[in-house]
Structure 1
Amino acid sequence: MKTFKLYSISLLEGKDGNVHQKMVPIEDGLIINMENQKQMWYIEAVVSEDYAEFFQRVKEKEEHILVDVVITSKDNHPAAMITSVQSITSLSNSKISVLLEAKLAVKKDDVIEDVLKDLVSRGFSEEALLEEFKTRMENLKAHPQSALGSIYRSIQQSGLYKLQ
């Protein structure tokens, strides 16, 4: 089991055929890789109680939330995860703690592949391709919008999850 600091979390919501990111400001948080056969992760985020109703509704309806998380440092690549709400705990100072059970929806290698496909489709080749690829990988702060749409649609179509 490995534990990391949760740097940021954003909700990925499907609307009108597109996926929109909604940042959830966190006060504190951690993410635990259970390193088990099910490849489960747990995310605990301390957020404003303004989000209590949203998370409670998702929990009661037994829905899933697609999230993008960044761990340890803002410079790390995000990880898209499919989550379910396990518990919501009221804290002092108008905060709540939300515990999410999570599985990786896309691996870093898939993101790299998406960046490369995008560059090739835009006509980059040889040295220009290599330079642009290096630049994009250094500056990658989020999944490309096209990748998020593909991830969201494939999760919806799998029938395994009930996206909110």
Structure 2
Amino acid sequence: MKTFKLYSLSLLEGKDGNVHQKMVPIEDGLIINMENQKQMWYIEAVISQEYKKYFQDVKTQKGHILVDVVITSKDNHPAAMITSVQSITELTDQKISILLEAKLALKKDDIIEDVLKDLVGRGFSNEALVQAFRNEMETLAAHPTSALNTIYRSIQESGLYKLQ
């Protein structure tokens, strides 16, 4: 088992055929890689009470949420995960703690491949491709929109998850 600090949490919601990110400000949080055969992770985040209804509705409906998390530092690449709400705990000062069970939906290698395909599609080659790739990877703060749209549709079509 490995534990990391949760730096940020975003909800990835499908609207109008595209995926839109909605940042959820976190007070504190952690993410645990269970390192088991099921490749499960647990995300715990302390957030504002205003999100309680959203997460309670997902839990009641036994639904799933596609999220983007950044671990340890804002400079790290995000990880897209498919999650289910395990518990919601009321805290003091208008805060709640949410516990999400998660599986990786999009890995860093998938992001790298998507960036490379995009650059080749835009006509880059040889040394210009290498330089453009370096620039893209240095400034990549989130998943490319095309990758998020693809993974969201794939998850929806799989029938394995009930996305909210």
The bucket for the TM-score relative to the shorter chain is over 0.9
Q: SS at the partner of 1:10? A: strand
Shift >4 Å, 4+ stretches: none
Which segments of 5 or more consecutive residues in structure 1 lack a partner in the other structure? none
Secondary structure in structure 2 of the residue aligned to 1:105: strand
- Can you give the 5+ residue segments of structure 2 that lack an aligned partner in the other structure? none
- What corresponds to 1:135 in structure 2? 135
Question: Separation in 2 of the partners of 1:135 and 1:121?
Answer: 16
* Alpha-carbon offset, residue 88 of structure 1: 0.1
Q: Distance in 2 between matches of 1:137 and 1:46?
A: 30
Equivalent residue for 1:122? 122
| Alpha-carbon distance between aligned partners in 1 of 2:15 and 2:122, rounded to the nearest angstrom | 27
RMSD, matched Cα? 0.3
Q: What is aligned with 1:32?
A: 32
Aligned to 1:52: 52
User: Does structure 1 residue 87 correspond to structure 2 residue 87?
Assistant: yes
The AA in structure 2 aligned to 1:19 is V
Structure 1: which amino acid aligns with 2:91?
L
| Residues matched between the structures, number | 164
Quote the residue 1:144 is aligned against: 144
- Per-residue displacement from partner, 1:96-154 (whole Å, max 9, x unpaired)? 00000000001110000000000000000111100000011111110000110001000
**2:40 is the alignment partner of 1:66:** no
Residues 1:98 and 2:98 aligned together: yes
Q: TM-score, normalised by structure 2?
A: 1.00
Q: What letter matches 1:30 in structure 2?
A: L
Question: Within 2, Cα distance between the matches of 1:138 and 1:16?
Answer: 30
Counting aligned pairs with the same residue, the percent is: 80
